[in-house]
Structure 1
């Protein structure tokens, strides 16, 4: 069914194959969001508070910390086992920083009582799997939990405001800042917020109306494969989106902070911002799946999989969508930090 694909399929497949690490937005995306916010808060109280908490570590670097902690192996006495694998984590690969990562994972490993097949608690802070039909984030919908991306981000904000973390999250002030910086990036990667559910024939399924069925869950498109030119399954769609910031040119990346200064600030109470941004990201997820066709479900040793047929303009439009999301993510991180630590009169 994929023999009619041309060169754009090869480009999609090569990128997906190169983005196999499960790092939302990868280093480029998260570093970019942190860097944009760092530039926008300069001269404000928020910059001084960030410096107080992080010391010599930059907001750019701490934005990827919550992915680096995945290098802590809970089956090897909580030792860090990824030394040298990811250049973006090098700043944290020393005894004192590894001890901080270890302590975080120990406190955020199983306290949420993961169900069979679910990831460690702290890994679940990075995403939600709301069906794209919802169009807005609503606690209790299929794909949400009390420790998904939205409540985890709210808990971290509460800690930075001087309060206590909401269980099951357990956060120090530094961990809370790291989580805020990271999840603002994850929230602006649409497939970290919205998921498409598919039936055995590859037809869109609504788990909230038709009933939750694990066989329909694409896990934020991790179970959706892109085709190689010969029609065989290639990399997965979620990894493709995680890697899109790498497709931006150096000039495009350099222009993002100034473009972020022109983003219209979110209005209303800061207490509502996270829900508003989450709901907007779900609408972006709808765009990410627009025009895509899916083959029938295939059972594999790793669970169900569906092959996708992207529209011919998918590559160009997805890159532009992510560029705009990075701008908003950085601007909103800066806005959030300046609301937590407003300038004094």
Structure 2
């Protein structure tokens, strides 16, 4: 939800180039930070998994834009925010869950702690959910400017065993859809909802659904859940706006589109969860961040902290939220279904996050074919920003309490 990628898959304009459609270098136009950016890898087709391969290629074209372009952001004159929800957001979600488990579910907290502890040179290092919630973002290539350090050995190992891990962080469900439905436009077998389910099944001792190139240790499953539960409580990590080929009329790729691509990049253009909806302001004003996705990942969180008087302390903000459970946070049914329920629940918020704005075709061309070559622009007024910070505060709290409840359901069913 809240770190360089989870509430962040942002692109404010960079031209990326690389052999075989794999972007390894970026020529700076302005900045690029957000969805992963290895661009699209080509995969050798497997006779019995052709449809999955096609879906994977399509997902690559949509979702691997962030990391290879982080250097462009870092080198640009645009100030880089902290990180998806940004890194503060993910740490806040993890901290809320830590506090709830310590107070109400010590047995679950102990089990989580055991899985997260690290043996370092003979000494045991205890780690919290708040600490590990950023690891899935820190594992991404090129994320040093936002993580503040190079990837650790365990993050590198995770990335090597899960070569498409950058696609675990989001879904792109068209705003016209009332709920998350697998195998429809904007979903894939390794999107955030599916990967939460995979990690939950593994930690419950069940056999997770077979997914090529997914291989998690139990420790990684814990920190992936800690991260992804945050991600899917950021509305633009689940819902996305699509346009027709003119880039001016909103469409649902499910209508008239067919799997695996649903015509995305051909008959329809995607906004990449708001990454290609650039923020503009009348001079001399300057937008707080380059694009709408990044605003929700970072600025909305920062403003929520400031409004609560906790601008400089994530832990204080987490304690404040943990002391007042938000209404409606509890989830019914099997824990196996919770991620899909949460993704469906946030769709109306994703819709409102777009409907409150006037979004128009922009002047900047997009270098990405699956966006229809288009970008868009919008202006945030004060009322939108006030509304967004209130939603961010609530969503962070919801994510923290639900993260704790999910681990309770896993380890104390």
TM-score range relative to shorter protein: 0.7 to 0.9
Name the residue aligned to 1:138.
181
**Structure 1 outlier segments of 4+, above 6 Å:** 231-234
1:307 aligned counterpart, secondary structure? strand
Give the C-alpha shift of residue 263 in structure 1: 5.2
Output one character per residue of 1:162-193: Cα deviation in whole Å (capped at 9) or x when no partner. Answer: 23443132110011001100001001011000
TM-score (norm: length of structure 2): 0.67
Q: Does 2:289 correspond to 1:289?
A: no
Q: How many residues align?
A: 300
Contact (CA 8 Å) 1:19, 1:242: kept in 2 or not? no
2:279 aligned counterpart, secondary structure? strand
Name the residue aligned to 2:384.
314
Q: Map 1:129-278; keep pairs closer than 5 Å.
A: 129-166=172-209, 167-168=211-212, 169-199=214-244, 200-211=246-257, 212-214=263-265, 215-230=268-283, 235-243=290-298, 244-247=300-303, 248-249=305-306, 251=309, 253=317, 254-260=319-325, 264-278=329-343
Give the C-alpha shift of residue 159 in structure 1: 1.4
Contact (CA 8 Å) 1:19, 1:239: kept in 2 or not? no
Higher relative contact order (CA 8 A, sep 6+): 1
Contact (CA 8 Å) 1:46, 1:342: kept in 2 or not? yes
Deviates more, 1:134-143 or 1:158-167: 158-167
Q: Distance in 2 between matches of 1:325 and 1:157?
A: 21
1:176 aligned counterpart, secondary structure? helix
From 85, 91, 100, the counterpart of 1:31 = 91
Output one character per residue of 1:280-319: Cα deviation in whole Å (capped at 9) or x when no partner. Answer: 1222211211221122254233542111244551100000
In structure 2, stretches of 5+ residues that fail to align are 1-32, 34-77, 118-125, 258-262, 311-316
Name the residue aligned to 2:61.
none
Please state which structure has a larger fraction of its residues in helix.
1
Give the C-alpha shift of residue 213 in structure 1: 2.9
Q: Distance in 2 between matches of 1:99 and 1:27?
A: 20
Q: Distance in 2 between matches of 1:310 and 1:178?
A: 34
TM-score (norm: length of structure 1): 0.80
Contact (CA 8 Å) 1:63, 1:181: kept in 2 or not? yes
Give the C-alpha shift of residue 245 in structure 1: 1.2
Give the C-alpha shift of residue 269 in structure 1: 2.0
Output one character per residue of 1:248-273: Cα deviation in whole Å (capped at 9) or x when no partner. Answer: 22546241011137654212222221
Q: Distance in 1 between matches of 2:276 and 2:383?
A: 22
Contact (CA 8 Å) 1:44, 1:338: kept in 2 or not? no
From 393, 397, 401, the counterpart of 1:327 = 397
Contact (CA 8 Å) 1:260, 1:330: kept in 2 or not? no
1:45 aligned counterpart, secondary structure? helix
Contact (CA 8 Å) 1:31, 1:60: kept in 2 or not? yes
Contact (CA 8 Å) 1:265, 1:332: kept in 2 or not? yes
Name the residue aligned to 2:375.
305
1:274 aligned counterpart, secondary structure? helix
Contact (CA 8 Å) 2:173, 2:186: kept in 1 or not? yes
In structure 1, stretches of 5+ residues that fail to align are 1-15, 74-80, 110-120
